[in-house]
Structure 1
Amino acid sequence: MESQAAFNYQQQVEEIRLAMGCDFVALALVQSEERHFQIRWEFASGNLSQRFRRIVLHSGKGVAGIVFKTGKPIFVPDAHQYYKKEDMYNYPILIAEELESFAAIPLFKYNRVKGILLAGCRKQKCMSIEKFELLQSLVTPTFGPYYSEEVTGI
């Protein structure tokens, strides 16, 4: 019974931030169909304020919405190279937490994206490919019922 497994997501997010040496790590969870699959940042470590809690996204919108829609991770070593300054308002978590480089990965459950794990830094090029791979490797042992890759060929 999965609900019996008491995972302390806040503690896990904090441990990932420390293990990765990042400034900020957050977990967004996808709400139910009745709530129109809204995506909310629920847990964070290293946050500058509580603004992240007010961010509500939908499929295809913001970092979490894009990861949810595509089911693919995002790796951005320098946000200013990837996004135009006038488009940054489309990525509220980057603005709220002043992130300059980040990686975000989907968390699957029953072959559907149910969460998004984001790790970021407040300086450019801090997020390396090694840190990105470390983030992916930390998901399975950390988040129990969630896994980092879509299962195919069942």
Structure 2
Amino acid sequence: MKNQPNYQYQAEIEKLRDRFQFDFVSLALVQPAEDRFVLTWQYASGNMNDRYKRIVLHSGKGIAGIVFKTGKPMLIQNVNTDIESRDLFNYPIIVAEQLKSLGAIPLWEAARVQGVLLVGYRAENRLTQAAFDQFQEGLGREFGAFHAGEVGQP
């Protein structure tokens, strides 16, 4: 990520939000932290507050951490039925932004996940599998300096 050109991620996520009519779009990027890496939400559009800036996720924790660890897109069509209420603390972006239907895709650089792009709605069942697939197709293979989607996808 150090060599990536100056890319206007804030402007791009705002365009995505308008184009697909999402309530919320955010970009988490990997940050070095001592001997391990953490993810922090760096850019957001449609945010209700700035709490997202204080969220720090480790690999496997939260939606960004799971996508980072697995390298695969993740879809939660209905937070109320797909996640136990007692487990919501593991998904701070969902709580902070009151998201009810969301998806996230990995962003790759040099065969490693370096970021996670999250899109969502504050209403249940708004992001269906078909709509999430359409978003991924519409996004294309590149997002800034990153390859978008699963590695190994055609």
Is TM (by shorter chain) over 0.5? yes
Tell me, yes or no, if the aligned pair for 1:75 and 1:104 is still in contact at 8 Å: yes
Distance 1:4 1:63, change over 3 A: closer
Instruction: Could you tell me which runs of 5 or more consecutive residues in structure 2 were left unpaired when the two chains were aligned.
Output: none
Q: Deviations over 1:44-86 (max 9, x none)?
A: 0000000000000000101100000111110111011110111
Say if 2:82 is the partner of 1:82.
yes
The match for 1:140 is: 141
Q: How far apart in 1 are the matches of 2:133 and 2:24?
A: 17
The match for 1:101 is: 101
Q: How far apart in 2 are the matches of 1:150 and 1:86?
A: 30
Q: How does 1:34-45 map to 2 (within 5 A)?
A: 34=34, 36-45=36-45
Aligned length: 150
Runs of 4+ residues over 4 Å off in structure 1: none
Tell me, yes or no, if the aligned pair for 1:30 and 1:114 is still in contact at 8 Å: yes
1:33 CA drift (Å): 6.0
> How large is the Cα RMSD of the aligned pairs?
1.7
Which deviates further from its counterpart, 25-34 or 93-102?
A: 25-34
Q: Deviations over 1:84-108 (max 9, x none)?
A: 1111011000000000000000001
**Identical aligned pairs, as a percentage?**
45
Q: Deviations over 1:2-36 (max 9, x none)?
A: 84622100001111111111100000001136462
Distance 1:29 1:132, change over 3 A: same
